[in-house]
Amino acid sequence: MKVFLLSIALVTISFLLQGDIGLNRSDEGFLWYGTIHSALGEVPLRDLQSYDPGRYYWGAAWFKILGNDSIVSLRISCAMFQVLGLTFALLSLRRITKEWWLLALEGVLLVLWLYPYYRVFELSISMAAVFFAIRLIERPSLLRHFIVGVFIGLSACVGRNLGLYTLLSFFLLIIFIWGKLDRNAFFTRFALWACGILVGYSPILLMFIGVHGFFESYLGIVAFLSRIGGTNLTLPIPWPWRPQTGVRLSERVFFLLFPLFSFTVLPYLLLLKSQSLRGKYLLIASAFVSLTSMHYTFSRADLEHLSGGISPLLIGLMSVPSAFQFNSRKILNTCWFVGLLAATCLSVGRENPYFLKIKAPELYVKKLIGGNLIWIDRDTAGLLGELTRINALVANEGLLIAPHWTTFYPILERKSPLGEIYFIFPQTEQRQKEMIEELHQKKIDWVILHDNDAIDGRDDLRFRNTHPLLWHHFVDVFEVIEHKGSPYNYQLLHRKLKS
């Protein structure tokens, strides 16, 4: 209970400092829009472009509890998920940290990596995975194998990639436990583990059976991801020796620590005798979980994905002095922790919304967004003012916003006329033709199109290149409406009147 209260306190302080600062125009809106429409009865994946349903139904439940679907309510729902993840992380660290003040500082370090808040699902599940892993190592009973399976299934309800990561981590861990610690009833344990996975994933399995069209949509998403070859737009890994602008040295060091930790600790553990593994259970648990979370971080090697996968690595690094029983352990542990905290402050800490606002308060203004006063940067405030005027001009007519300003749909209280709200990956000609027909049937006569800033500077990711048929349709059938200029170089399009 004390650990849970400590987690609540740390997350609450973090939320009070930064919960009303900043507005992301794309990824935040992707979660917000999906959660709003899930709360209204639409089905994620089937009725709207989304991740797996679990995170949306979590947020929708909190919308109901809080009585509104504002952006602050969304952030509160994410904060509550943070509390769960942080509690599991601190319960793991409690095994090696007896002083409460030090445990609180370790919690502060982990909270600093809770960035950005809409990535909290990946981060919290990886923290929980370490806890369930260490519980399994401590006592590899049949019940705990089943419970671990349930956790894996529930993780997959939130994200298929999270289910896959935890599945692989625990599969390898179960084999390790059998080979090094306990050779009893391997097949029985494995069977119960598999049954637990089915139980944990049962909400999605029931949706396959009971929700018309959901299974077909799910298969369609899998086929789409197979066609594009992944779930992310890749970025080169910023190794310390590779020149790459915009990436701090402290971030580069953390990227390097992932393979260094996994590919040194795991072989070392495999070479140890069974009796020598005692006292290293937290190191073992974090090493196996970190091995697969590294894929998430490297799938798009930026700060957001580093923060989403780094928690098992941090827990493992914090466990090193305890695992190896060094002389002067307290001094070494203190220096080691101070180093991790300093590197954290120099990397993700410098992107903390509260820090950015304190550093340059003149860049922020307060705006009323969905009933909440939010501090947003002046550029976004100017864009929001422009789009609010356009929204008034369009009135009750349909409006499409492309390719990736998803946040403005809920702000303007509008529904996307298409299932897609995020036009990033190349789409097939058949689907583009279906979109054109949908826009025609729904009489969508207005489009806000922003296509001048290429994602990652890649021209092939411009809307005109990922959706060429739809782009040419806009050029041929729509006309540009002149309006007050803005620095964002977007266009307001209106369907041409038939002569």
| pLDDT greater than 80 at residue 333 | no
Question: Average pLDDT in the 287-315 region?
Answer: 95
pLDDT in tens, 138-183: 999 999 999 999 999 999 999 999 999 999 999 999 999 999 999 9
Q: pTM for the whole thing?
A: 0.95
pLDDT in tens, 211-251: 999 999 999 998 888 888 777 888 999 998 887 767 888 99
Question: Average pLDDT in the 68-79 region?
Answer: 97
Q: Which residue has the higher pLDDT, 279 or 175?
A: 175
Per-residue model confidence (pLDDT) at position 230: 76
| pLDDT greater than 70 at residue 327 | no
Q: How is 419-441 classified by DSSP, letter by letter?
A: S-----S---HHHHHHHHHHHHH
CA angle in degrees (0–180, nearest 5) for 357-30-230: 110
Per-residue model confidence (pLDDT) at position 328: 62
| pLDDT greater than 80 at residue 127 | yes
> Are the beta carbons of 48 and 415 closer than 8 angstroms?
no
| pLDDT greater than 60 at residue 499 | no
The mean pLDDT value of the chain amounts to 93
pLDDT in tens, 365-380: 999 998 899 999 999 9
pLDDT in tens, 415-458: 999 999 999 999 999 999 999 999 999 999 999 999 887 888 88
Per-residue model confidence (pLDDT) at position 419: 93
Per-residue model confidence (pLDDT) at position 51: 94
Per-residue model confidence (pLDDT) at position 326: 63
pLDDT band at 38 (very low <50, low <70, confident <90, very high): very high
Per-residue model confidence (pLDDT) at position 329: 65
